[in-house]
Amino acid sequence: MNDPLAQLAAEAVADPDLTYFAFAAGARSGPRVPPLMPTSAALPEVLCGRYRIERLLGVGGMGAVYQACDLLREQFGDPQPYVALKTLGEDFAEYPDASALLYSEFALTSRLRHANVVQLHAFDIDPLSQRAFITLELLSGCTLDRFIDEHPAGAPWGDAREIGLALLEALAHAHAAGVLHGDLKPSNVMVGDQGLRLFDFGLGQAQENRLPGLPQLCRSRFAAWTLRYAAPELLDGEALSAAADIYALSCVLYELCTGRHPFRRLSGKQARAMQLQAEASVLAPPIARALQAGLAFDPARRASLEELLQAFRTAPQPSSRLMRWLGRWPA
């Protein structure tokens, strides 16, 4: 497509009865063409005459990801013609600018070039069904929630450190590029042969005053999260921030290292109301201190990514098999 953003620009004043969640908060360039008409039709078997849907890989609250065969690549004999293909769910058909949300994810993620961030191929719209979709690299391996489930007492430190550093570096890269993730959780991290990949920037946003002109998800109109990983201030209605990403990532890292959610699977808001503190005796003291600071309920007191990175880079190995068996660390 020549100018997908122009095609997607929604006419926010066209109909006051319609709810918009993108563009509503200060899109800088005015819309140039009318919005696409979203559709509630079932997903076609082949999109754009090129991508044949093969199987469903995952379902989220907002959409679904399929494995698809790229028929063009197959025609040219590519032995691995498969891609992942993400579409929004029919729930979003009622929003006139639903496709802009998906484009926003594409635009944000495309700006990231990091070994631990998923690589997107293209954003497209099936002309017949008017379905917008993203194609991206097909990842093999298992998601981090399964890895955590298979290590109920916490991952071995070597694995936890490797995964933790890769995740922290991926998020640091995104933040440095002005991109907030907005929905960090174990099932949005793939661990496999290709290494670790952070994916699903579907609730992502550009940081304030960064990437001007890009469609912005308007959280006052459309708020979404995964309850157990959302920072308490997000649940209070505050805007997404780098600190909120750090809270979510600290939850994930704590779960990875201990096998348990830091607040017994309560939401950040519930944990704050009960003044809970993540139990830290099973962690190496530098990691415990960093994660507890990362889980601070007050975003102003929360650890920075650099502090978390430093802790994961320098934390010692368990001193002996006995200490490891006991799950205790020298002070």
Report the interface residues with another protein, using CB under 8 A: 42, 55-62, 64, 89-91, 145-146, 149, 183, 185-187, 202-203, 222-228, 265
Separation CA 139–CA 120 (nearest Å): 11
| Minimum separation from the CB atom of position 67 to another protein (A) | 9
| Minimum separation from the CB atom of position 194 to another protein (A) | 18
Number of residues that this document lists for the chain: 331
**Are the beta carbons of 56 and 66 closer than 8 angstroms?**
yes
> Between 135 and 226, whose beta carbon lies closer to another protein?
226
| Minimum separation from the CB atom of position 138 to another protein (A) | 13
> Residue 189 forms beta bridges with which residues?
198
| Minimum separation from the CB atom of position 316 to another protein (A) | 32
**Catalytic residue (choose from 97, 124, 126, 183):** 183
> Between 167 and 315, whose beta carbon lies closer to another protein?
167
Separation CA 193–CA 3 (nearest Å): 35
| Minimum separation from the CB atom of position 175 to another protein (A) | 20
Separation CA 184–CA 225 (nearest Å): 9
Nearest to 4, CA basis, from 32, 44, 45, 46: 32
For 125-139, b where at least 16 C-beta lie within 10 A, e where not — what string? bbeebebbbbbbbbb
> Between 143 and 241, whose beta carbon lies closer to another protein?
143
Residue 98: Cβ-neighbour burial (10 angstroms; 0-12, 13-18, 19+): buried
Nearest to 8, CA basis, from 259, 47, 320, 29: 29
| Minimum separation from the CB atom of position 245 to another protein (A) | 15
> Between 140 and 209, whose beta carbon lies closer to another protein?
140
Residue 110: Cβ-neighbour burial (10 angstroms; 0-12, 13-18, 19+): middle
> Between 158 and 192, whose beta carbon lies closer to another protein?
192
As a whole number of Å, the CA-based R_g of the chain is 21
Has 17 been annotated as catalytic?
A: no
What would the DSSP string read from start to end of 260-281? Answer: S-TTTT--HHHHHHTT-----T
291 CB contacts (<8 Å, ≥6 apart)? 250, 253, 254, 257, 262, 278, 280, 283, 308, 311
> Between 130 and 222, whose beta carbon lies closer to another protein?
222
Separation CA 149–CA 164 (nearest Å): 16
Separation CA 314–CA 312 (nearest Å): 6
CA 190 to chain centroid, in Å, comes to: 11
Separation CA 291–CA 251 (nearest Å): 8
185 carries a ligand binding annotation: no
Q: Which residues are annotated as a binding site?
A: 86
List, as residue ranges, the binding site for ATP: 86
Catalytic residues: 183
